[in-house]
Structure 1
Amino acid sequence: MQFNTQLLPRINSKSLRENGKQYYVDAKGNRFPSVTTILNVTKPQADRDRLLNWKARVGTEEATRISTNASRRGTQTHKQIERYLLGQNPVCPEASRPYWESIKPVLAEIDTIRLVEGSVFHYDLSYSGKVDCIASYQGIPCICEWKTADKPKGSIEHLYEHPLQITAYIGAINNYYRDYGIQLNHALLVVAIPEMPAEVFWFEPAVIKDYWEEWEKRVAQYWERRSIWG
């Protein structure tokens, strides 16, 4: 399939991990924590308890196995989508094929590709990340995020911190690419599920605004804690 592509310039950066935290470093040496690192450091206690309870219920070994498999399938599916959106010949690994078949019909409604798997930096709030895609969905410019799951999420509440993540990316995109006429205020989050149509979650501007206010608080919390660490 041929997409209309109007690619934005990519940011030259590298990813590094340090003491369990992820950072992105730009070409000038600016090093900022990733969105996921900020979310992990400032995770509410209720979310920490939920994760600990799950690990206790299934056992440490099983929890590790599930997490490793989820990470692997997510990486494979992301690579498959990236190749597809860039017009390259997708060679789908067997393990990720059910997720690819689930999400492929949604990709048919994507057009005007601006960025795929690109680093972003918010220089005013000092954070960074990597976005899955900037494009148009059903004609509306938005950020697109791809997730995989073994069963439907069912509601936005079960997406946990993913909406904060995509809102943080929107802020960084708008901050960095504003001179290119980019001003996003919609988000698409798609969850690929084996042998089922992918779940599509669409976020309107008013919802994004509420999440942005929450994200700003989380960023402030992170830097407050960072100043205590020294």
Structure 2
Amino acid sequence: MSFDTQLLPRINAKSMRENGKQYYVDAQGNRFPSVTTILNATKPQEDRDRLLNWKARVGGEEATRITTGASRRGTQTHKQIERSLLGENPICPEASRPYWESIKPVLEEIDTVKLVEGSVFHYNMSYSGKVDCVASYKGIPCICEWKTADKPKGSIERLYEHPLQLTAYLGAVNQCYQEYSIDLNHALLVVAIPNTEAEVFWFEPEVMKDYWKQWEQRVAEYWKRRNSWSR
């Protein structure tokens, strides 16, 4: 499969937060939890313990400073990438410049951009999200996700739940845009790191199928818990 050059139409949706959870609402008023909300609500205990141990080790104030800074730099870098992919001439904020310089060479391999920062819904499984990019990488159509980090991840295992996020977006894009002959089965995750080349993780279809099974389980677990809370 290869892409034509026409952009996919953007889905009209708004983001809202309620009790610390994020939802997207479509034009018809359908409201679904975001991918990250589902992942956070169903996070395995070992992942929760790791986060708690880290906070205990660095201290609450320092943990807040680190996570706030990481969120800000991630937002700035995403904005920079978005402008670049849409053909604008971005002036990079100084704080995100090291991450931008890291990821720029990878972006040169991206073409036939179909969607950037687009809201997506999976109506059969009742979830939503915002995908970073749908494009071709080295000529292969795929979902793209951009991350930032202070040091290399080194392995897929250290990506933790990011691959589940990728497969969730893959399924939602395929459902939302099936009438446009979109049928993606590859995914790209790029981690921008200061003063070095970005890490590139490429996911083949068979691997994505395995992650999809895990994602289905997490969604089922989320709704099972939600239904038990509301009784």
TM-score, normalised to structure 1, is 0.98
Identity over aligned pairs, percent: 81
2:98 match: 98
Structure 2 counterparts to residues 177-188 of structure 1, below 5 A: 177-188=177-188
For residue 229 of structure 1, report the CA deviation from its aligned partner: 1.1
For residue 89 of structure 1, report the CA deviation from its aligned partner: 1.3
Structure 2 counterparts to residues 79-94 of structure 1, below 5 A: 79-94=79-94
- Kindly provide the amino acid, as one letter, of the partner of residue 207 in structure 2: V
* Structure 1: runs of 5 or more not aligned: none
2 CA distance for matches of 1:157 and 1:46?
Answer: 14
SS of 2:198 mapped into structure 1: strand
2 CA distance for matches of 1:13 and 1:52?
Answer: 34
Q: Are residues 1:151 and 2:143 paired?
A: no
2 CA distance for matches of 1:91 and 1:14?
Answer: 27
Which ranges of 4 or more aligned residues in structure 1 deviate by more than 2 Å? none
Q: Is the Cα–Cα contact under 8 Å of residues 189 and 200 in structure 1 kept in the other structure?
A: yes
1:194 match: 194
Q: Is the Cα–Cα contact under 8 Å of residues 5 and 111 in structure 1 kept in the other structure?
A: no
* Structure 2: runs of 5 or more not aligned: none
For residue 6 of structure 1, report the CA deviation from its aligned partner: 2.0
2:138 match: 138
- Kindly provide the amino acid, as one letter, of the partner of residue 168 in structure 2: A
2 CA distance for matches of 1:141 and 1:154?
Answer: 25
1 CA distance for matches of 2:118 and 2:175?
Answer: 15
2 CA distance for matches of 1:5 and 1:229?
Answer: 46
Q: Is the Cα–Cα contact under 8 Å of residues 142 and 188 in structure 1 kept in the other structure?
A: yes
For residue 201 of structure 1, report the CA deviation from its aligned partner: 0.1
TM-score, normalised to structure 2, is 0.97
2:7 match: 7
Q: Kindly provide the CA deviation profile for residues 19-42 of structure 1, in whole angstroms up to 9, marking residues without a partner as x.
A: 000000000000000000000000
Number of equivalenced pairs: 227
2 CA distance for matches of 1:158 and 1:214?
Answer: 17
- Provide the alpha-carbon RMSD of the alignment: 0.7
